[in-house]
Each structure stands twice: as structure tokens, then as C-alpha cells.
């Protein structure tokens, strides 16, 4: 290497030159071929296509008519600190597609832009961004790597992650410095491309779409995976199974409406990449928490095509669900991207402006990792915040979704370091005229210091309440020292959310989620069984709070199987009678099992897919019927979905409180009772004088109910509270029964001692 080249090259390039002759990097920065690099030759690009200045807004690729009425596409990319940006156009799919490069010469406020006549919807494209290679200062520009537009609305192709897609030499012998050695091989043949999409989303069907706008208090959420929900559905046509169109099929929607849920919460549908360690083991990322395109529906879930067709297919799915009265909530991953840490691939943001998009440590080679996934987006930066909010608004206004569940939301709420509930992200969301009107759900934690923030998010936000999950699991495995925690969780978690105007529906109550055991496995396994993931069963939590009813895994023992089904009924009934917003996981209502896996993130197979044979299985069909019945009961009775917290105070002249707690002896609980060991709890919900008014301005009244929860191993007596609470009670739900009677039984006079079977929930309606 000449001394001049040596002076221009960074330390990593000099290391490369000393080792394997890879320091031709500055030639690549000038858009010239770098010669032979590790045995691969990059060929010169075809002649450039002329570009006009265009406009810096909106960001992304927008098809439109130019000033001389010539159709074309405006391209705009924020690339702060870059020295040059090339737009790369491809004439077809696959690694042999011919590439034409267009240098974007216009830059406004760090946005590189240009209008290219003749570029129409369906055009595949990407970017090459030029700049310094100096990992020690966080600069990782490498024009040999084709980059996905962060604003691409459709993506064609898949990320296979061969060595060529890494900005550094992935296989460098000294791994401790591998990230500093630039790899000049061309990645274009190995990465997917962005696709220009027509902006018009106002066809007749879309214009007449009607959002359900279900109030939070009336919501019942159903978490599902687009692929896994219909992959085995016998009534969905084979070519549509596992796709957006499959979820929109009447057979799929019929199950949702029969169950009675009001919203589906879709596991990530942003374009995502599979991690290299999974691909090496023949596995794939199934859950999708590895986003790389925040505007693009994941192409693998489309039945109609991947050159823009996936956008229309997603919109039609949303319309079909809305027509059935079902809202669509997206699980979104804005806390990190698929580019991982310094040893991760260069796919998009890392090559556009690594220092601008990611949080870096004091040693700028390294990433601040509050997510456990290698990197954390730097949401304090205005352009990063803009990327996220533009993405959110796009999914609401142009794709029709009704809300979002934010993965590891505490990472988004960090200011410079600490979680800050006055952070720019939360402030911007709180004042945005579009986003403040949709459903916002926080996963209120991350893996960094101080990241656990359950109960701390501001009004407007709801939260996944893991304290509810843990309390209910512990109660039904008889592991709580007393019933104080259970009392709070059943009645809306006022200890967490009764501040700043928050309401009971700030608590999204769940017993299971995608991450962890299914409901059936929760009562069938005490140990995780993740061997199929190829990680030595080290992955996944060991804190399952599960009970296998005496036998680990599947069994032919009829008594154990009956006990497990009873426990499932107890868990479902508890969830759907609790104040707050209940969330079920697809398949739990009919006994889906993952055979003990509590971390099926890479199991894109029957382990994770919903097993529809259970729907008609005599052993499991009664569980589905109970779930539907409980949701219908919840919809009919406003006392079960209150919009305000219980006060525990009288609201009428008869002196009845809106919420009362009873011991097994039929007496109201004292402070001493709350601290005493107990396996039984009685909860009285008064339907008189429910706070608020109906849409006509009239007072809301309802039946009153008494719920008796008994987690003990033996039957126990319970005295039904007498006057003034009731004159008579009718049993509405008895989880001790395999089948539930549609009509209530003859009932019991108030003051009657009854026997509650072991491990049972009784729901009784006050009849007089």
C-alpha cells in the first residue's frame, strides 16, 4: 500500500491491508470497483440514469407526476454525515438483476433527494451510502453494501445473511477486531430490495372501511401470529394458509367472532430478518422480533406477491376484520433492529448513519444494548423519532390499524440513559393528533438498569401487567402466602394504575403470552423443554410459576388430565372475570400445546402453529365453549368491565359498597384476614350505581355478582353472604363442571353454607 493510501485509510483498513489485502476501501468510496476482494470481483455498474432535483419530503420512494407531467418517483433519504448517496435500481429479481446507479446530488437538511423519471411502482431499489470507515468513532459507511430504504413500503426477497452482507469481514481470524476490518464485497446479490409502491390507498372498499373503535373497557384482546393462526386451518384454502389473506378468510374470522374477541394483536408484521445463528442451525425467526423495515408488511406472509401486492393484501385483511367488528393491533419493535451489534450485518441504518441511528457506548465501536438484541435505536435523535412516528402514522392512516403494542417500551422511554416518563418519545406520542387517538400498549420493561416500569407509564398508555400474570399463576398453584396480591389484581390493580387519571383498563391482564408456556403447558410442565432450539435448553426463562398437576408432560392418567382441564377453566375464568383488559393467546381457548417449550421463537412448525383438530376434540371443545361463554358474559355485564376503579365505599342509601371481600365464613374480610394464609377468596361486585353514564346519559346499573375462588386441594365450606348483600344467589359458572349449564340452577338462599369443590371458581348472580 502506498503511503498516501495508508494516510487515507482508517486503522481497520490498515489492519485489513496487513492481513488479507482488503484495504481498497477508498476506491469503493468513489464508486469505482474495488478489484478482487477475497476472491470475489465487483463489476462496474451500468451507466447512471439521470435524476432531477426532486424534493426532500416526504422521505422514502413516492411515485408521482413530475413538473413536466412525466411520471416518475421521488427518492429521499436522511443520511446525516454521509459524503455521497447513490440510488441503485434493479431490472428484475434475483442475484443476476442488472443494477443502474443514480447519484443523488441534492441535499437539504441532511436529506439526499432526487426525482427519477420513468421509475414506476414495482421498481426494485436500494442505496449505497459513502463516507468514512472508522469504527472507533462509530463511522461504518461502506458503499459496497446495498442498503434497504428505512421508508421502503414493500420489500422483495429475503435476508440470507452470507458473509457478503456484513460491513466488516465476518470471518476475520482475530474476532476481537473483526468489526474494524472493512469488507468490500458487493452485497447486492444477497439482500432483498425495496419496492416502489403506489401511494393511492383510497379505492372504494378502503374509503368505506369503518373502524370498530371499541372502547378500552369493552376490549378483549386475542394475541395471534399471522402465519401460525391459519397454517393448519382446514377450512382456509391451502394457498392462503399462513398469510394475510388467510387471516382475512371467513373461516378464520368465524372463529374470532364465535369467541367474541374485539381485537387481534398481531405478532410483528414489519419486514424482519432471520438471525444468522438460526439459519446456520436450519431454523428461522418465527416470532419476528427482528425488524428491518418499519413501513413494509413482512413479505413472507403475503399470498398475492412481494412487489407491492403485500400492501394491498394487508389492507384487505384489515378491512375484513373491521367488517367483523374486530380491531387490529400491531406488536411493533422500534427498540432495536436486525443489524445487531458491532458484529452484526449491515442491512440498512448501520450503513446509512450508524452514529445517528443507534445508541453507542463511550467506546463508539460498541452499542448500548438495553434490549438484549445487540443494539438500541437512539430515539432521542429527531430523525430517529421521526422515523418511528412516521411509521406509526402510516400504519394508522394508510394501512388502517387501530393500535400498537410496543415491545420493550422502556427502551423507547429512555432519554440519554435512564427511563424518563417525560422523554421525547412519550411526549411526541402524547401530543400527536393521530397517534394519541389509537390504542397504545406498553411492554413496560427492558433489560437495562432501571428498565422495569410496570405502573409507571403516563395516562393514555395501557400496559402489559406481568404482576397480574404472576399472581394468578401463583394463586392457582397455591403458592401465594396470602390473598392481598390476588385482591389487587382481580379488581383492576389500583395500586399500580390509580394515579394521574388512569383507569382500570390501563392494565392489560394476561396469564400467558407468546413468550412462555401456553395455558395448557402451564398446567402440564414444571420445567422448560426447549431442546429443539439447539441452545442446550439454556434459553427461555426458568421462572415459569407452573404446576404440572403431579406428572411432567403428556399422560394417559385420566385423573391428572381432568385436573389439568379444571385448572385451565380456573385460569380462563379468573382472567375473564377480572377488572381490566383481558388478553388471550391464540389456541389457549382450546388447549394448544407447545410440548413444554417456553421459548418457541424459532419454531416455525407444528410446535407453534394453532392445532385446529382441538376445536372438535371432545376433550377440549368444552374449554372453547366456556371461553366463548365467559366473553359473552363480560360483554353483557358492565360490572365486569368497569371504566373506573372500585372505591370500596357505599354509593347508595342501603349502604352497599361497590366492592366487598368475604371470608369462607361469609363475613367481610378484616385487615388480619388479608395477611392470613388462605386458599379461598370471595369477591362481591355490586352492579348498583356503576360510575359513569351510558351513551344516552342514563345511569349504568347491572346485576351484582359474587365470585368465589378456591385454590385449595380439598373441598371447603363457604357461607353465602346474607342481607343486605343478597336474598338469593344463582350459580352462573362452576369450573368444577366439565360442561357449563346454559341456564342457572335453582340457586341458594343467602346465608346458606355451600361446599366448594377443590380448585374451583364459582360465579354466582345475586337474584334478589
Reduce the DSSP state of residue 366 to 3 states and report it.
coil
What the block records as the C-alpha cell of 250 is 371467513
- Do 329 and 439 contact (CB within 8 A), yes or no? yes
- Do 654 and 724 contact (CB within 8 A), yes or no? yes
Reduce the DSSP state of residue 639 to 3 states and report it.
helix
Distance of CA 519 to the CA centre of its chain: 19
Catalytic residue among 149, 407, 521, 673: 407
- Do 480 and 486 contact (CB within 8 A), yes or no? yes
Q: Give CB contacts under 8 A, 24+ apart, made by 387-391.
A: 387/150, 387/151, 387/294, 388/294, 388/334, 388/412, 388/425, 389/428, 389/429, 389/432, 389/435, 390/58, 390/59, 390/151, 391/294, 391/295, 391/332, 391/334
- For 90, how many CA atoms within 13 A lie in the half-sphere containing its CB? 24
Question: How many beta carbons lie within 10 A of that of residue 585, not counting itself?
Answer: 23
487 burial type by CB count under 10 A (0-12 exposed, 13-18 middle, 19+ buried):
middle
Reduce the DSSP state of residue 175 to 3 states and report it.
helix
| Alpha carbon distance 454, 410 (integer Å) | 10
What the block records as the C-alpha cell of 67 is 413538473
| Alpha carbon distance 98, 660 (integer Å) | 73
How far apart, in Å, are the Cα atoms of 396 and each of 312, 403, 432, 436? Answer: 14, 8, 12, 11
Query: What element of type H or E holds 353?
Result: helix 349-357
Reduce the DSSP state of residue 435 to 3 states and report it.
helix
- Do 166 and 322 contact (CB within 8 A), yes or no? no
Q: Look up cell 468489526; give the residue.
A: 179
Catalytic status, residue 443: yes
Catalytic residue among 184, 275, 309, 443: 443
Dihedral-angle region of residue 544 (phi above 0 means left; psi in -120 to 50 means alpha; beta otherwise): alpha
Active site residues: 407, 443
Amino acid at each position: 500500500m502506498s503511503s498516501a493510501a495508508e494516510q487515507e485509510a482508517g486503522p481497520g483498513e490498515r489492519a485489513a491491508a496487513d492481513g488479507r489485502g482488503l484495504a481498497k476501501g477508498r476506491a469503493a468510496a468513489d464508486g469505482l470497483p474495488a478489484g478482487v476482494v477475497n476472491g470475489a470481483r465487483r463489476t462496474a455498474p451500468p451507466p447512471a440514469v439521470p435524476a432531477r432535483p426532486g424534493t426532500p419530503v416526504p422521505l422514502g420512494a413516492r411515485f408521482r407526476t413530475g413538473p413536466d407531467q412525466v411520471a416518475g418517483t421521488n427518492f429521499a433519504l436522511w443520511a446525516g454525515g454521509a459524503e455521497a448517496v447513490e440510488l441503485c435500481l434493479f431490472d428484475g429479481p434475483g442475484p443476476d438483476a442488472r443494477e443502474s446507479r443514480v447519484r443523488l446530488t441534492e441535499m437539504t437538511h441532511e436529506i439526499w433527494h432526487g426525482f427519477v423519471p420513468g421509475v414506476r411502482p414495482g421498481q426494485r431499489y436500494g442505496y449505497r451510502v459513502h463516507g468514512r470507515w472508522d469504527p472507533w468513532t462509530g463511522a461504518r459507511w461502506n458503499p459496497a453494501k446495498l442498503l434497504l430504504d428505512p421508508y421502503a413500503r414493500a420489500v422483495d426477497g429475503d435476508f440470507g445473511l452470507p458473509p457478503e452482507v456484513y460491513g466488516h469481514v465476518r470471518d476475520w481470524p482475530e474476532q476481537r477486531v473483526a468489526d474494524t476490518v472493512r469488507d468490500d464485497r458487493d452485497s447486492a446479490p444477497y439482500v432483498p430490495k425495496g419496492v416502489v409502491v403506489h401511494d393511492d390507498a383510497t379505492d372504494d372498499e378502503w374509503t368505506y372501511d369503518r373502524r370498530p373503535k371499541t372502547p378500552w373497557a369493552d376490549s378483549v384482546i386475542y394475541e395471534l401470529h399471522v402465519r401460525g393462526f391459519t397454517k393448519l386451518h382446514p377450512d382456509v384454502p391451502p394457498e392462503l394458509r399462513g398469510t394475510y389473506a388467510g387471516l382475512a378468510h371467513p373461516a378464520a374470522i368465524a372463529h374470532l367472532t364465535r369467541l367474541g374477541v374485539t381485537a387481534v394483536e398481531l405478532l410483528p408484521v414489519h419486514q424482519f430478518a432471520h438471525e444468522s445463528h438460526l439459519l446456520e442451525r436450519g431454523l428461522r425467526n418465527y416470532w419476528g422480533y427482528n425488524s428491518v423495515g418499519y413501513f413494509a408488511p413482512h413479505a413472507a406472509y403475503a399470498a398475492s406477491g412481494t412487489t407491492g401486492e403485500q400492501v394491498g393484501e394487508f389492507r384487505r385483511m384489515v378491512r375484513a376484520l373491521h367488517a367483523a367488528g374486530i380491531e387490529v393491533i400491531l406488536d411493533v419493535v422500534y427498540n432495536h433492529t436486525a443489524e445487531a451489534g458491532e458484529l452484526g450485518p449491515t442491512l440498512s441504518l448501520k450503513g446509512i448513519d450508524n452514529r445517528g441511528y443507534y445508541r453507542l457506548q463511550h467506546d463508539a465501536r460498541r452499542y448500548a444494548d438495553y434490549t438484549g438484541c445487540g443494539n438500541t435505536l437512539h430515539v432521542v435523535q429527531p430523525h430517529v423519532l421521526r422515523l418511528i412516528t412516521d411509521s406509526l402514522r402510516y400504519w394508522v392512516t394508510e394501512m388502517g390499524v387501530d393500535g400498537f403494542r410496543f415491545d420493550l417500551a422502556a427502551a423507547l422511554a429512555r432519554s440519554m440513559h435512564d427511563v424518563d416518563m417525560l422523554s421525547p418519545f412519550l411526549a411526541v406520542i402524547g401530543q400527536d393528533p393521530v397517534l394519541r387517538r389509537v390504542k397504545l400498549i406498553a411492554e413496560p420493561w427492558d433489560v437495562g438498569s432501571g428498565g422495569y416500569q410496570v405502573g409507571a407509564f403516563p395516562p393514555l398508555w395501557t400496559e402489559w401487567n406481568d404482576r397480574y400474570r404472576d399472581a394468578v399463576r401463583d394463586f392457582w398453584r397455591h403458592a401465594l402466602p396470602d390473598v392481598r396480591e390476588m385482591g389487587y389484581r382481580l379488581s383492576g390493580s389500583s395500586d399500580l394504575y390509580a394515579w394521574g387519571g388512569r383507569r382500570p383498563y390501563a392494565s392489560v391482564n394476561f396469564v400467558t403470552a407468546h413468550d412462555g408456556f401456553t395455558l395448557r403447558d402451564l398446567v402440564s410442565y414444571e420445567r422448560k423443554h426447549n431442546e429443539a432450539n439447539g441452545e442446550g435448553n439454556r434459553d427461555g426463562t426458568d421462572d415459569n410459576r407452573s404446576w404440572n398437576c403431579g406428572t411432567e408432560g403428556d399422560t394417559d392418567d385420566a385423573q391428572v388430565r381432568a385436573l389439568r382441564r379444571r385448572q385451565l377453566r380456573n385460569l380462563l375464568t379468573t382472567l375473564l372475570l377480572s377488572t381490566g383488559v383481558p388478553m388471550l393467546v391464540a389456541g389457549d381457548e382450546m388447549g394448544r400445546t407447545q410440548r413444554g417449550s417456553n421459548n418457541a421463537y424459532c419454531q416455525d412448525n407444528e410446535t407453534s402453529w394453532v392445532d385446529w383438530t382441538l376445536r372438535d376434540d371432545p376433550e377440549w371443545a368444552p374449554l372453547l365453549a366456556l371461553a366463548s361463554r365467559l366473553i359473552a358474559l363480560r360483554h353483557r355485564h358492565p360490572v365486569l368491565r368497569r371504566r373506573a376503579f372500585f372505591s370500596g365505599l357505599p354509593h347508595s342509601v342501603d349502604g352497599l359498597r361497590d366492592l366487598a371481600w368475604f371470608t369462607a365464613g361469609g363475613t367481610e374480610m378484616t385487615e388480619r384476614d388479608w395477611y392470613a394464609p388462605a386458599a379461598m377468596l370471595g369477591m362481591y361486585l355490586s352492579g348498583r350505581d356503576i360510575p359513569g353514564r351510558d351513551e344516552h346519559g342514563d345511569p349504568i346499573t347491572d346485576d351484582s355478582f359474587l365470585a368465589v375462588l378456591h385454590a385449595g386441594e380439598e373441598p371447603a365450606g363457604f357461607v353465602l353472604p346474607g342481607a343486605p348483600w343478597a336474598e338469593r344467589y344463582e350459580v352462573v359458572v362452576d369450573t368444577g363442571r366439565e360442561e357449563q349449564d346454559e341456564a342457572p340452577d335453582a340457586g341458594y338462599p343467602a346465608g346458606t353454607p355451600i361446599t366448594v369443590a377443590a380448585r374451583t371458581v364459582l360465579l354466582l348472580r345475586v337474584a334478589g
